[in-house]
Amino acid sequence: MVQYSTDRLDASFAALSDATRRGVLEQLGRSDASISELADRFHMTLTGMKKHVGVLEQAGLVRTEKVGRVRTCKLGVSRLAGETAWIEEYRRLWAARFDALDEIVEELKQKEMSDERRQGK
Amino acid sequence: MVQYSTDRLDASFAALSDATRRGVLEQLGRSDASISELADRFHMTLTGMKKHVGVLEQAGLVRTEKVGRVRTCKLGVSRLAGETAWIEEYRRLWAARFDALDEIVEELKQKEMSDERRQGK
């Protein structure tokens, strides 16, 4: 498999394992937003939203800027390149494993048919 | 965004957020293995490995079959299709946001250059 920083993959996949956090990323993909706008949008307390944003920030998926009293959230530098590479490699392995199974099933079928013919069924 | 089962995405991304669990999937992508083989390979107790396999099984990434006293682990039915689709859509949004930023920066540069020309610098 392609080698990427283990900690980075751990942090990103953990950050993506929550529907609200994925929703925040989708929202920030459309436009920047303050923590309180995000809290409103996802029907959550400010404290709850701050925690989610903190997890996303740790994973490099979000960065925040404080101007005056408002903290604005934007998409971070991570474009999930390592995560995409890992999943693509997994899908390649998965397909190869299942293709191999298909071939075995096909061989067994052929063998059975030729056995039947030999027995004059 | 494409809609996939939220619980399924939560479970898969959580399952992928651990290096040992990703390692188990890579291993099963090469060949099936018993729980004790996996425990040996990842220098872990049987109980620890059973927990990891349980998490992967819940997410549909692994299935197990018990024959006699041996429980064999194989890749599950999930080929991470929903997870791939979510990440691809995110990457599309991400690229669009950063392209938009590039355009703004480019416009600002052009404006600055024409201001400088006007001022005869």
* pLDDT tens string A6-43: 899 999 999 999 999 999 999 999 999 999 999 999 99
Strands of chain B (E only): list them: 33-34, 62-67, 70-75
Alpha carbon A59 to chain centroid, angstroms:
12
Tokens at A90, concatenated = 């997994």
Residue type, A117: R
Residue B72: φ, ψ to 5°: -95, 135
Sign of CA dihedral B107, B112, B113, B114: positive
Q: Read off the pTM.
A: 0.83
Residue whose pair of structure tokens reads 């999943």 in the numeric block:
A87
Residue A43: φ, ψ to 5°: 50, 60
Q: Is A16 within 8 Å of chain B by CB?
A: yes
Q: At what angle do helices A19-30 and B81-118 cross, to 10 degrees?
A: 30
Output the CA–CA distances (angstroms, integers) from residue A46 to A14, A38, A102, in the order listed: 21, 9, 52
DSSP state of B18: S
Cβ contact A27:A33 at 8 Å:
yes
Other Cβ atoms less than 10 A from the Cβ of A21: the count is 23
Calpha distance B73→B65 (Å, rounded):
7
Sign of CA dihedral A40, A46, A52, A53: positive
Cβ contact B92:A30 at 8 Å:
no
Instruction: Give the confidence band of A84 by pLDDT, cuts at 50, 70, 90.
Output: very high
The ipTM assigned to this model is: 0.82
Q: Considering only residues B115 and B13, tell me which one the structure prediction assigns the higher pLDDT.
A: B13
Q: Which of A7, A9, A13 to mutate to test the interface with B (most CBs of B within 10 A)?
A: A13
Task: Return the bridge partners of B73, or none.
Answer: B33, B64
Residue whose pair of structure tokens reads 């996939």 in the numeric block:
B4
Of A6, A18, A79, the CB nearest to B91: A79
pLDDT value at residue B4:
61
Calpha distance A32→A64 (Å, rounded):
10
- B120 CA: distance to closest CA in chain A (Å): 35
pLDDT digits (tens, 9 = 90+) for B32-71: 999 999 999 999 999 999 999 999 999 999 999 998 999 9
pLDDT digits (tens, 9 = 90+) for B86-120: 999 999 999 998 877 777 778 888 888 888 888 77
Average pLDDT, chain A: 90
A93: left (phi over 0), alpha (psi -120 to 50) or beta: alpha
Contacts of B86 in chain A (CB under 8 A): 16, 22
Instruction: Give the confidence band of A58 by pLDDT, cuts at 50, 70, 90.
Output: very high
What residues have CB less than 8 Å from B45, skipping those under 6 apart? B39
